[in-house]
Amino acid sequence: MRELLSIACEELKATVLDPMRVRNLFNKQRRKAYYSWLKVRRRIGATWAESREGDTFQQRVYRSYEDYLMHQKDKVKRLDLNDYDVKFRTALRERLENMDVDWPSKNVLCLAARIGTEVKAFLDVGAFAVGLDLNPGEENKYVVFGDFHNIQFPDNSVDVVYTNSLDHVFELGKVLGEVQRVLRSEGCFIVEPAWGREEGPEPQYWESYSWAHIDDLVSHIEKHSFALRQKTSIAVPHASVQLCFTCAASS
Ligand SMILES: C[S@@+](CC[C@H](N)C(=O)[O-])C[C@H]1O[C@@H](n2cnc3c(N)ncnc32)[C@H](O)[C@@H]1O
């Protein structure tokens, strides 16, 4: 009941800010899409709890792993990503060009890459790149289906792992373990994280995991035998930082 009330309040607020959205009620397809979103949203709820990684980390409480998968898979069909695809691809390509890395000699795995925007940026600089996502959509040339808690690629097979989606994990330790497993010993792990909830916006409907501060996330990743080599401010797709880790043993 509380969840229904909170949805009603949010909807009212959104309609006051954008009265034209009332038109959606008169379009059969949009009405259908909206009802199916409401169904998922009611099932998922908005309860968060301290995660097993400690009290600086919080995770959305799901009834089951299947519910987590259903929630995360639901996102891509609800967004228009055309503008984002161009802007983020250009910005990431520029960041990659400024890094001291011989990209054409690298293979890159992009975790939770959705339609493949980051994959395209790595291809632009000459790397061999592929993405993995729970929901790559249909006929995606850049991204294959996969769950980053259980990556299908072999041990020590990847030069660079990239992700900006650690706020979508179910279990952070498991994902970091998988990154460590697939990365070559000289490999590099690039993370572009969301802000921590005490330094930026609170997690929204799609997120499943949060940290208090980005530095907490850095410390946690370092506990998984990575060492932070570089931290750079970024502005696109939103203000954050780019973190480059290598395996601690490779220093
Ligand atoms: C915020 S979006 C980011 C997408 C992409 N990196 C980008 O910037 O366009 C989060 C993505 O994480 C994916 N995702 C969530 N949980 C996942 C999981 N367990 N394994 C793989 N992908 C997952 C979702 O399907 C969604 O595409």
Place of tokens 């509380």: 2
246 lines ligand 1 (CB under 6 A): no
Is position 63 within any domain? Answer: no
- Give a yes or no: residue 58 inside a domain: no
Do residues 188 and 215 lie in contact, with contact meaning Cβ atoms separated by under 8 Å? Answer: no
Residues 32 and 97 in one domain: no
Measured from the CA of 149, which atom of ligand 1 is nearest?
19
Amino acid 15: pLDDT: 82
Give 37 or 120, the one with higher predicted confidence. Answer: 120
Domain membership of residue 1 (yes or no) is yes
Residue nearest to atom 26 of ligand 1 (CA): 114
91 lines ligand 1 (CB under 6 A): no
Residue 67 placed within a domain: no
Q: Are residues 85 and 153 in the same domain?
A: yes
Interval between CA 207 and ligand 1 midpoint (Å): 10
For residues 26 and 99, membership in a common domain is answered with no
**Residue 115: CATH number of its domain:** 3.40.50.150
Distance 251 CA to ligand 1 centre (A): 30
Cα 73 to middle of ligand 1, angstroms:
8
Residues 27 and 123 occupy one common structural domain = no
Beta bridge partners of 240: 234
For residue 146, report the distance from its CA to the centre of ligand 1, in Å.
10
Whether residue 109 is found in the same domain as residue 150: yes
pTM of the full structure: 0.91
Q: What is the pLDDT of residue 251?
A: 57
Cβ of residue 51 lying under 6 Å from some atom of ligand 1: no
Q: With a 6 A CB cut-off, is 165 part of the ligand 1 pocket?
A: yes
Q: What is the mean pLDDT of residues 23-35?
A: 79
Q: Mind listing the pLDDT tens digit for each residue in 63-112?
A: 999 999 999 998 766 677 889 999 999 999 999 999 999 999 999 999 99
* Best of 67, 115, 168 for a ligand 1 pocket test (most atoms within 8 Å of beta carbon): 168
The 10s digit of each residue's pLDDT in 158-211 is 999 999 999 999 999 999 999 999 999 999 999 999 999 999 888 998 999 999
- Is the domain of 107 the same as that of 226? yes
- Stretch among 21-30, 98-107, 233-242 having the lowest mean pLDDT: 21-30
Tally the domains of the chain: 2
DSSP the chain: -HHHHHHHHHHHHHHHH-GGGGGGGG-HHHHHHHHHHHHHHHHH---EEEETTEEEEEEE--SSHHHHHHHHHTSGGG---HHHHHHHHHHHHHHHHTSS--GGG-EEEEET-TTTHHHHHHHHTT-EEEEEES---TT-SSEEE-BTTB--SPTT-EEEEEES-GGG-S-HHHHHHHHHHHEEEEEEEEE-PPPPTTTSPPP-TT--EEESSHHHHHHHHHHTTEEEEEEEEE-SSSSEEEEEEEEGGG-
Query: Which mutation among 59, 71, 72 tests ligand 1's pocket best, with the greatest number of atoms within 8 A of CB?
Result: 72
Is the pLDDT assigned to residue 4 strictly greater than 70?
A: no
Asked if residue 62 is part of any domain, the answer here is no
**Structural domain span for residue 102:** 78-250
My answer on whether 240 and 165 are in the same domain is: yes
Same domain membership, residue 91 and residue 37: no
By mean pLDDT, which of 1-5, 21-25, 122-126 is the weakest? 1-5
Torsion on CA atoms 26, 27, 30, 33, rounded to nearest 10 = 80
Same domain? 202 vs 107? yes
Amino acid at the residue 136: P
Contacts of 37 (CB under 8 A, 6+ apart): 74, 78
Q: How far apart are the first and last CA of the chain?
A: 54
Give domain status of residue 164, yes or no.
yes
CA 218–ligand 1 middle distance (angstroms): 20
Higher pLDDT, 5 or 15: 15
Residue 187's nearest CA partner among 153, 224, 162, 217 is 162
Nearest to 133 by CA among 124, 144, 122: 144
Q: Of the candidates 143, 121, 119, which has an alpha carbon nearest to the alpha carbon of residue 133?
A: 143
Residue 75 near ligand 1, beta carbon < 6 Å: yes
Q: Kindly state whether residue 22 falls inside one of the protein's structural domains.
A: yes
96/29 same-domain check? no
Query: In this structure, is residue 61 part of a structural domain?
Result: no
Distance 168 CA to ligand 1 centre (A): 7
Phi-psi domain of 85 (left: phi exceeds 0; alpha: psi -120 through 50; beta: other): alpha
Q: How far is the CA of 16 from the centre of ligand 1 (A)?
A: 30
Q: What is the mean pLDDT of the chain?
A: 92
Per-residue pLDDT for 217 more than 90?
A: yes
- One domain for residues 11 and 89: no
Is residue 10 domain-shared with residue 120, that is, in the same domain?
no
Question: Whose Cα sits closest to atom 20 in ligand 1?
Answer: 147
Q: Residue 27: is it exposed, middle or buried by C-beta count within 10 angstroms (0-12/13-18/19+)?
A: exposed
